[in-house]
Amino acid sequence: MKNVNDALALIQTGTSQMLPESGMKKKLESGKKLKIKLGMDPTAPDLHLGHAVVLSKMKQFQELGHEIIFLIGDFTARIGDPTGKSKTRPQLTEEEIKKNTKTYFEQVSKILDPEKLTVRYNSEWLGKLTSTQFVGICAKVTLARLTERDDFAKRIKNQQSISVHELLYPIVQAYDSVVLEADVELGGTDQTFNLLLGRVLQEQFGKEPQVIVTVPLLEGLDGVQKMSKSLGNAIGLTEAADQAYGKLMSISDKLMWRYFELLLGWDQAQLSQTQARVASGNMHPMELKKDMARGIIEKFWSKKEAESAQKTFEAVFQKKDYSEAQEKSLPEDLPNPVWIVQLLKVLEAVKTSSEAKRLIGAGAVSVNGQQIEEFGAEISWKKGSVVKVGKHRIYKLS
């Protein structure tokens, strides 16, 4: 990077807020290797493209030569982040946390250079605090400040309960920044309060406060709610490339622009120019969406997988050549006929019966061209049978 202004412009691209902007410029001008912190609680075993937005921003800092600290919140996961919750979040067991943590490093390494990555676990320090030390940390934050949080304020207004441990969450997350002496902390816009509290607590401990950088939340496949595994609108970073490509092709034309911006880093000039070409009829939305899907798969999977995924999609969905569909081997002990929901779970097309029920009710499941209308339907299957789920997921049984 030629100078501080160039680095600042790069960091600002695709962000929602940088607080304070003058603080970031000052830190960059110091010339020191900054400590950049990103924390994630292992509340689910898989990361998805929503996480890729903030991880891509982290990658920019890595390429600028700064120290990247990926913090796995194995202690804070026991509390549960109350952000956006209208009721108390169920606490995870240690076994669930360990299971979910297992693949995080591998998934993060799809985006960040693992050779230039520091991985820390906040149980290293939070798990060793004495009760006296913990009370001392809590004494530095007032209840008035905590209840300024939008979700807490709403719950108080609506006379909904707030457990004491939920109030502790932003405090312990902020203390992570004290221990790590973070210069910059990244997060989604829903983390703004927690990140700002990190600045406050650092000052309380006599340290230079961090600059916070927030990125927009990526909408999921439904185009409404933020991408989330629990909402069934996510594309996991561990999914097969052709399956991820198909899901990307299912999003709306409107949402496509958001993905270009947040996942592929297009600036406003690129977006406006391309939107004008589509509006004038010089570019078909379908071809543009294929470019988007291929670009995302190439960026977060590989070029080879992107080429293969596009070839498969064109053969199966545009030419209706189901010989190119994703093959799925079924266990030998699978009943025949089999309950359609059991079949969908074996194919990993759904994780829960409620998800299967929703898809069947929407007329989005078919076997060999025959739409499944009953949740309790039993299906006779054989090698070569074709199961379609939604618009862009087709499985050939083998």
Stretch(es) of the chain classified as CATH 3.10.290.10: 327-397
Each of the 398 residues of the chain gets a pLDDT tens digit; together they read: 458 999 999 999 889 999 998 999 999 999 999 999 999 988 777 889 999 999 999 999 999 999 999 999 989 888 876 655 545 556 677 788 888 777 788 889 889 999 999 999 999 999 999 999 999 999 999 988 888 877 788 888 888 888 888 889 899 999 999 999 999 999 999 999 999 999 999 999 999 999 999 999 999 998 989 998 777 789 999 888 988 999 999 899 999 999 999 999 998 899 999 999 999 998 899 999 999 999 999 999 999 999 999 999 888 878 787 777 778 888 888 889 899 999 999 888 887 898 889 899 989 899 988 999 999 999 888 888 889 888 778 888 87
- Which residue intervals of the chain bear CATH 3.40.50.620? 4-217
pTM surpassing 0.75? yes
Beta partners for residue 173, in sequence order: none
Q: 64: which 2 tokens?
A: 């600028």
Specify the pLDDT at position 86.
44
Architecture of the domain defined by 4-217:
3-Layer(aba) Sandwich (3.40)
Q: Give the span between the Cα atoms of 325 and 181, in whole angstroms.
A: 51
Name the CATH topology of 327-397.
Answer: 3.10.290
Tokens describing residue 57: 């921003």
Classify burial at 86, counting beta carbons within 10 Å of its beta carbon; exposed 0-12, middle 13-18, buried 19 or more.
exposed
Q: How far apart are CA 173 and CA 293, in angstroms?
A: 35
SS3 242: helix
The DSSP bridge partners found for residue 69 are 37, 118
For the chain, where do the domains classified as CATH 1.10.240.10 start and end?
Answer: 239-321
Q: Which fold has domain 239-321?
A: Tyrosyl-Transfer RNA Synthetase (1.10.240)
C-alpha 269: how far from chain center: 26
Closest CA to 315 of 390, 246, 235: 246
